[in-house]
Each structure stands twice: as C-alpha cells, then as structure tokens.
Amino acid sequence: MQHSVFISGAAQGIGAEIARLFHKNGYKVGIYDINEEQAQALAAELGTDAKAGYLDVSNYRQWQIALQEFKNWAGELNILVNNAGILYSGPFENTTIQSHHRTVDINIKGVLNGCHTALAHLKEASFARVINLSSASAIYGQADLASYSASKFAVRGLTEALDVEWQKHHIRVLDVMPLFVQTNMVKNMDAGSIQNIGVDLTPADVAKQVLHLAQQKDHALIPTHTPVGIKTKLMYQLSSISPQFLNRLTNIFLSKRS
C-alpha cells in the first residue's frame, strides 16, 4: 500500500526537500505551510500524489481541518513530519518579547498541536510514525539563540515522552537533530556559534535522515534521537559523557564572537 506523509512548513527549505524526497520514493505527500501560494507551486511541480494547503501551525483548528482534508485525499495518515519552525538570534534582551512568544507559538505549540490532532488519524493507519525536527541546539542551551534553543529542548522532551507513551498504539515518535543547515533561517544569524562551527549541512542531508527513519521497519531498535552530521553526532556523544562544567565551558568557547 502506498504510504502518505504530511509535512508542516513544507513550502521551502528543509520541508520542501523532505517533500521532494518522499515524493520521489513513492509517497503521497502533503505540503502544508502558512505560505500557501508557495506550497501550491511545489505541489504543482511534483504533480501526481502531491497535495498542498494552508496551515498556521500555531492554530489548533487549522490543524484539524488540514489533517482531515489530507486524510480524505490520501486515504490514511501514515507519517507526520513536524517541520515548521522559526528562529530569532542575538542577545536575549535585544529580542522583543513578542518574538520570543512567537518562537514558542510556532516551535512548541505547533508541534503540540500537530501531535495532538494527528493521533486519532495515526491510530487508524496501517503504519504510523511521527518525526519531529529538533536541533543540535537541544543538546546544550545556546547563547544568542535562547528561546530557539529552549523550544527545541521542548521538542526533544515531547518526543521522548510520546515515544514511550504511544508505544501502546504502536506509534514511534522520533526526532532529527541537525546543526546549522543552509537555509534562509540562518542567513545573517547573529550568534557566535554559527561563526565558530560553520554551516555544513544542506536540506538534503536532513531530508535523507527523515526518510531513513520513516522507512526503518525494525520498530523497537530505532533510536529516539538522530543527530545529523558528523559535528552534531560528536557534540551529542560528548555531551552525554562529559562533566557538566566541561559542557558549559565548551559552549562558552563556541559562543565567543570574532
């Protein structure tokens, strides 16, 4: 049976690359974004088995409408990819409180809304999985990315909790944790860490990991978290074995501005 994937924030960047790759591999693809015009253009580019629609992930009612619409079109919802996200950078106090709140609304509430709305549909599917976009910023809180980093810690925690809780429904809830990716989100980013670490990953690198997690059938042995890229994997492993003071000193060093 042809499986389906619903992707939030899929009109550009990582989301669009995920949509292209899943479509290439024979999935029915839902391309949903607050920029509906761009989402429709991508669906038209892909052609058959691609459907686009409007979705503001911070709006729970819009999630209900979008997922029901997609399920009616695709037959069932197999994979939910919570990709939509925003980033504000710079010193915490120089970022408006409205921007911090918007980060919470999209990066945290958006994922909560997606998971909460999707469960009823996923429980009815022959195969079901949730893949969230977390970040290397959820390994240790990042200076000049405070609310973004906090939001990705929330995604990491929600992923872990639901991955355990939803085992009774035979639904794995997983995340990918990339470092900085070559998208519009990181252009002109005001943070020392991006200057020191660099931007080595492409949207295609992340999309490949998402597809890999979607296709793995060895249900119980799939790790809950998948760091993307050599640098992220190294940071992830070191953080788990290094003393806390050393992790802090490492992040102070990485956040220094040139």
* Range of the structural domain that residue 99 is part of: 4-255
Burial of 256: CB neighbours in 10 Å, binned 0-12, 13-18, 19+ = exposed
Alpha helix (H) residue ranges in the chain:
13-24, 36-46, 60-74, 97-103, 109-124, 146-165, 192-197, 203-215, 230-241, 244-255
Condensed to tens digits (0 to 9), the pLDDT of residues 25-47 reads: 999 999 999 999 999 999 999 99
Of 27, 32, 88, 148, the active-site residue reads 148
pLDDT at 57 over 70: yes
pLDDT at 179 over 80: no
Letter string b/e over residues 209-237, b meaning 16 or more CB atoms within 10 A of that residue's CB = bbbebbeeeeeeeeeebbbbbebbeebbe
Residue 232 structure tokens? 């992220």
pLDDT at 252 over 70: no
Instruction: Give the chain's domain count.
Output: 1
Q: Are the C-beta atoms of 77 and 6 separated by less than 8 Å?
A: yes
Q: Are the C-beta atoms of 26 and 19 separated by less than 8 Å?
A: no
CATH number at residue 125: 3.40.50.720
| The pLDDT value given to residue 221 | 83
Share of the chain above pLDDT 70, in %: 81
Kindly list the strands in the beta sheet with 172-178, ordered across the sheet, starting from the edge strand earlier in the chain. 50-54, 28-33, 4-8, 79-82, 129-133, 172-178, 225-228
Condensed to tens digits (0 to 9), the pLDDT of residues 197-224 reads: 544 678 899 999 999 999 998 677 899 9
For residue 225, name the pLDDT band (cuts at 50, 70, 90).
Answer: very high
| The pLDDT value given to residue 140 | 80
Condensed to tens digits (0 to 9), the pLDDT of residues 58-96 reads: 999 999 999 999 999 999 999 999 999 999 988 999 999
Mean pLDDT estimate for the chain: 87
Residues in a beta bridge with 173: 130
173 vs 187, residue with greater confidence? 173
Mean pLDDT of 8-25: 96
Q: Is 27 a catalytic residue?
A: no
d(CA 208, CA 196): 26
